[in-house]
Amino acid sequence: MTKGRRPLNALDEALEIAGRRGSVEQVSGRRENAFDFIIIEQDRVVFVKVKRSQTSFVFPLEILYKYQREVASLHRVALTRVTAREYWVRSPNRFWQFFLIRHDSVVEIRADGMYVPYAVNPIMTMDVSGTAADGTVNSGSSF
């Protein structure tokens, strides 16, 4: 059994956010349910679980560590071409983070459900002689 009380304020805020995406069907029941509500969008049905957190998450996989049971429960919801599973987390400063739970990964998304990839950072590479791709020479230790 999960400890603590249901995130009622967070749930009310989440329902307001979800209402901007489509029709919302709240699931009556208990905290142990796999999801708290369903968003019926034009092209898909989204099952959403809402949690409160004391911190924000830098990496999406951190939620797997912090909320292992809840994410595992949500992961049992059938995933098809027209369904999605999302895990929404609210920090004490009312900052929201949204995560898409796929079969094999967790991806941070925006409130509207869209995925925004992180900017690609350049990776400096060195050849065998220690010369970088930009022509500079590595005078330090090698990898």
Residue 138's pLDDT band, with cuts at 50, 70 and 90, is: low
Range of the domain at 97: 8-109
CATH of the domain at 33: 3.40.1350
Residue 45: φ, ψ to 5°: -115, 130
Question: pLDDT band for position 32 (50/70/90)?
Answer: confident
Report if residue 74 sits inside a domain.
Answer: yes
Does 89 fall in a domain?
A: yes
Q: Is residue 27 part of a domain?
A: yes
pLDDT tens column, 34-74: 999 999 999 999 999 999 998 888 888 888 889 999 999 99
> Which whole-number Å values give the CA distances from 45 to 40, 57, 123, 143, in the listed order?
5, 26, 39, 48
Q: Whole-model pTM?
A: 0.75
* pLDDT confidence bin for 28, thresholds 50/70/90: confident
Place of tokens 């987390």: 89
User: pLDDT band for position 129 (50/70/90)?
Assistant: low
Q: Are strands 106-109 and 96-101 parallel, antiparallel or unpaired?
A: antiparallel
The partner residues of 88 in beta bridges, in order of sequence, read 50, 98
In a domain? residue 133: no
